[in-house]
Amino acid sequence: MNPLDIAIIRGRLQQITDEMDVVHTKAAFSPVVSEMSDRANAMIDPKRLEVVSQGKTGLPVFVSAMQSAARAITDKLGGDLAEGDVVIMNDPYLGGTHLQDIKLLRPYYHGGKLVLLLVSTGHYVDVGGASAAGFDPAATDIFQEGLQIPPTFLCRGGEIRRDVLRLIVQNTRMPESQEGDIRAQLNALDIGARRLTSLIEERGVTQLLEAIVELADRSEEQMRTYLRRIPDGTYHGRETIEISQTEELIIEVALTFKNGAVELDFAGSSPHYRGPLNLAWPTTETAVFLAFKHYFPEVPINGGCFRPFTFKCPPGSFLNAPWPNAVGGFSESAQRVADAVFIALAKALPELACGGSYGTGGTLTFSGYDKNGSFFASVFPMCGGYGGSKGADGLVHGPLPIGLAQFPKLEASEHDFPLRWDALELRPDSSGAGRWRGGSGSVFRFKPLVPMTISFLGDRARFAPFGVVGGAPAAMTEITVWNKDGMSGGPGNSMVKGVKVEPGDCVEMKSAGGGGYGLPSERDPAANTADLKDGLVSALSLR
């Protein structure tokens, strides 16, 4: 194809999915989407069942998960998909992540021909389960985590099935918010369909489909070109996740590169366990793809860039957990999978390596009744420091690297919920030292204005973000709740379950920093002086 035509179509597809993201965000009822942007929208090639385009502000962890969801839906319902239909599902064993991430799929037809699949994913605050807002650190199976929705027709022929909608919203503690978020996703799918129609009217179906095939093939070849730069051989990575103050899960990965392809073998990783940090296999795949995309950001995101990867993972591993294991804390384990891959890649490409990030979703959930007697529940995802890399210190107050969910604006959360913020600030002496320092962690502190129930599901309280090429590790996560019974959490503890707090009590989260790159002794003295002046480090830490 003419390169100019390809560039135009690629840009238009990107613009369409970007606009789907905007519509989804603006129409959502839940602040988790409207303020934190915990959502993504994409197009899928119905023949290859590969991602064609995804909105640039969508959560990266949803990219290949939506591809897996599309494959599951077409496998189960593909023969019945007709124009005007919309399928809803949240089964993580088919579509990745966890039950709160609800996926809607709409087939797009033009002239009676199926052209593309439009997919929307949004995080829902509450889907039932034992704990409001999910992320239950005590969950031992998926039934305790909420309502499971297999691929189900939400709309037929352009009409919402009221019985299905009622069934879903009645199984949540926040039915109005749930229905509003479903309709927001339907709006996003609708704008995607309308914009695709405009594109086809300008360019034609044939040219659009030819461009989609060529764009995917180009991404595949570009990824293989980068992989050929890595010397053939096997490189190992190992990471550890705490599941209590005395127990942990181990991730072992071996990356074997050969002629522009890579095989990942997770033999030696821990078996599944009765807790919420297991991963359904589509989530593990997604974490691997994201890790490589961090190293090779120039490769456009579509299904083609995923083709050079093959996998081995023992049945029963917590990275390939069988149903009905709990998977609500997927973000912790998925980030650790990416970190294990980063550690292996640092050995293969040290010049592109970076220190470990703060690396935990660190999700605090809170719920209760406001002064008017209305129920509320929501989540606060932790932000923290990224690792230093060759030539640059790490980012401060960044979102989880495998996601992009933002910490909400303080004014917005005080407006939406009965709480008062006392602090949101950088955490001194939390970054890993190095020639290029890691980013600082953050301190979050608030007080409830009404009785609440607080839980926290996180990581990095026992195992610090790693340094690379001689860099030092960073400070670790700390979560502390002070109430009339004393203190819950504290150093070394990254999980807090169902703590009751009253007005005047205090909740504090301290996120980890990022690991350093290179020997600390090689850091520019002027940079150390600037860090000291800015309050990022103390004089004691520079000795």
pLDDT digits (tens, 9 = 90+) for 424-482: 999 999 999 999 999 999 999 999 999 999 999 999 999 999 999 999 999 999 999 99
- Model confidence at 245: pLDDT above 90: no
What does the pLDDT read at residue 65?
92
CA 251/CA 256 separation, integer angstroms? 16
- Going across the sheet that includes 506-510, the strands are 419-426, 442-448, 506-510, 478-483, 486-489
Domain end: 219, 236, 255, which one? 219
- pLDDT band at residue 405 under the 50/70/90 scheme: confident
pLDDT, tens only, 266-323 = 999 999 999 999 999 999 999 999 999 999 999 998 999 999 999 999 989 999 999 9
- Model confidence at 404: pLDDT above 90: no
Q: Are 359 and 294 in contact (CB under 8 A)?
A: no
What does the pLDDT read at residue 540?
75
pLDDT, tens only, 355-380 = 999 999 999 999 999 999 999 999 99
- Model confidence at 63: pLDDT above 80: yes
- Model confidence at 217: pLDDT above 90: yes
Q: At how many degrees (to 10) do helices 175-203 and 3-27 cross? A: 160
Average per-residue pLDDT for the chain = 96
> Does residue 99 lie in a domain region?
yes
CA 287/CA 91 separation, integer angstroms? 18
* Arithmetic mean of pLDDT, 511-519: 97
Going along 432-505, which residue ranges are E strands?
442-448, 452-457, 478-483, 486-489, 495-501
> Does residue 257 lie in a domain region?
no
Q: ∠359-290-40 over CA atoms, to 5°?
A: 95
For 241-248, which contacts have Cβ atoms below 8 Å and span 24 or more sequence positions? 241/277, 241/332, 241/333, 241/336, 241/459, 241/463, 242/459, 242/461, 242/462, 242/463, 242/494, 243/273, 243/275, 243/277, 244/495, 245/462, 245/492, 245/493, 248/462, 248/463
- Model confidence at 493: pLDDT above 90: no
What does the pLDDT read at residue 491?
83
What does the pLDDT read at residue 480?
94
Q: How far is residue 154 from each of residues 162, 213, 501, measured CA to CA in Å?
A: 8, 30, 39
CA 192/CA 340 separation, integer angstroms? 36
> Does residue 29 lie in a domain region?
yes
Domain end: 158, 191, 219, which one? 219
Burial 465-476 (b: 16+ CB within 10 A, else e): bbbbbebbbbbb
Helix (H) or strand (E) holding 112: none
pLDDT, tens only, 204-214 = 999 999 999 99
CA–centroid distance for 437 within its chain: 25
What does the pLDDT read at residue 118?
98
Strand partners, 499: 454
Question: How many distinct structural domains can be found in the chain?
Answer: 2
- Work out the end-to-end distance of the chain between its first and last CA atoms, rounded to an integer number of angstroms: 61
- pLDDT band at residue 542 under the 50/70/90 scheme: confident
Burial 118-142 (b: 16+ CB within 10 A, else e): bbbbbbbbbbbbebbbbbbbebbeb
* Percentage of the chain exceeding pLDDT 70: 100
Q: Are 517 and 353 in contact (CB under 8 A)?
A: yes
Strand partners, 256: 234, 263
> Does residue 169 lie in a domain region?
yes
Measured over all CA atoms, what is the biggest interatomic distance in the chain, rounded to whole angstroms? 72
What does the pLDDT read at residue 74?
96
Amino acid at 199: L
Range of the domain at 526: 353-543
What does the pLDDT read at residue 541?
75
> Does residue 519 lie in a domain region?
yes
> Does residue 466 lie in a domain region?
yes
> Does residue 75 lie in a domain region?
yes
Domain end: 163, 185, 219, which one? 219
What does the pLDDT read at residue 21?
97
Taking the whole predicted model, whether its pTM rises above 0.85 is answered as yes
Q: Where are the alpha helices (DSSP H) in 256-364?
A: 281-295, 330-348
- Model confidence at 543: pLDDT above 80: no
CA 95/CA 148 separation, integer angstroms? 12
265's tokens: 């073998």
What does the pLDDT read at residue 392?
97
> Does residue 348 lie in a domain region?
no
* Arithmetic mean of pLDDT, 4-30: 97
